[in-house]
Amino acid sequence: MQSIGQRLEEARNRKGISLREAAEATKIRSDFLGYFEQNKFDYDLPEIYRRGFLKNYARYLQLDPEKIITDYDAQELGKTRANGKGGSELFGQIEIKGSAEDSKDSEKDEARYGHIAPRRNQNADAESAEEEDLNSEKTFYLKIGLVFIGTLALVFIVFGLIKAILSSDNATLEPPLRTPATASQPSTGQSASAIASNPVDQNQISLIASGTVYVLVKQKEDNVVLYRDTMSAGETVQLTKSGPVDILFTAGENIVIEHSGERMRPSSSGTAKITIP
């Protein structure tokens, strides 16, 4: 007949798992499980915990836990008898009919040490293990919920910012343009005919960033987006338009617009929209 340890080891091998994996699944130390499979039950651990761990391990390996505990009791009782000790240390108090004096001694021992009810304590250990697993699951789902809420809040903030820019009221957000005081003049040696031979392309727009600014350029006639991105200081973007365009930006103080040979800067800072004919 196979020993308890042999049955446990054989069942674990059938499942194809290691002692470490079994320890993680049952929340029982791997060295305790190794002792069980080696049929060693005399290591330093209170009897009530040893029995509870053994029962939980048998249940995890899909063995009959009651059968395993019964065989364990029989095995430990045999060892106790071989060592000349009574079975009360293993199973608690056993009432034996005898003289009145023996009965009194038994009552004194019970009052001193209490009565051990192994089955009830085993159930308590099982309930404690289940409660620990439930608490771990709750913590896991709580973390997932917090990550989801944080991501959702970030998405709402980004969409809110974009919506605020796109839905800006032209009457309040479209600042006039001002031309720099020093405009470029043709040199004295350049004739009027030379200037006429190099007309300025009215459909060309240059965006020049002096700082970080988000820019959206969209044609008014067909709503085609010509440019949408964040520009960095010193960056220049050349665009070709068809008809009037709306230019939206988040930092008017950080952008210069070049059109028809002139460089212009918005007269106000912050988020606004202007129209280039």
Number of neighbours of residue 93 by Cβ within 10 angstroms: 14
80 in a structural domain: yes
What is the predicted pLDDT for the residue at 21?
94
Domain shared by 210 and 118, yes or no: no
Residue 140, in any domain of the structure: no
Residue 141 belongs to a domain: no
- Is the Cα torsion angle 36, 41, 43, 44 positive or negative in sign? positive
Count CB-CB contacts under 10 A for residue 246: 17
The number of beta carbons lying within 10 Å of the beta carbon of residue 235 is: 14
Q: Same domain for 19 and 121? A: yes
Residue 213 within a domain: yes
Residue 120 and residue 212 in one domain: no
Q: Is residue 142 in some structural domain?
A: no
Phi and psi (nearest 5°) for 2? -70, 145
Q: Are residues 113 and 205 in the same domain?
A: no
Helix (H/G/I), strand (E/B), else coil: 73: helix
Residue 240: give its domain's CATH number. Answer: 2.60.40
| Residue 250 confidence (pLDDT) | 92
Residues 117 and 205 in one domain: no
The model carries a pTM of 0.34
- Could you tell me the CA-to-CA distances from 160 to 26, 72, 152 in Å, in that order? 48, 67, 12
Q: How many domains does the chain have?
A: 2
**Residues 117, 211 share a domain:** no
Measured CA to CA in angstroms, residue 46 lies from 53, 173, 257 at distances of 11, 78, 82
Q: Do residue 122 and residue 204 come from a single domain?
A: no
Domain annotation covers residue 217:
yes
Local confidence pLDDT in tens for the 277 residues of the chain: 788 989 999 999 999 999 999 999 999 999 999 999 998 888 788 889 989 999 999 999 999 999 999 998 888 887 777 766 544 444 444 444 444 455 455 455 444 444 444 444 555 555 666 677 677 777 888 888 898 898 988 888 887 777 665 555 443 444 445 444 343 444 444 444 443 455 678 889 999 999 999 999 999 999 999 999 999 999 999 999 988 999 989 988 999 999 988 898 888 778 988 999 8
- The residue segments making up the domain with residue 218 are 173-180+199-276
- Those residues with Cβ within 8 angstroms of residue 214's Cβ, 6 or more apart along the chain or in another chain: 165, 229, 230, 231, 249, 250, 251
- Cα–Cα distance between 92 and 124 in angstroms, integer? 17
Residue 233 placed within a domain: yes
Q: What is the CATH number of the domain that holds 63?
A: 1.10.260.40
Q: Is residue 160 part of a domain?
A: no
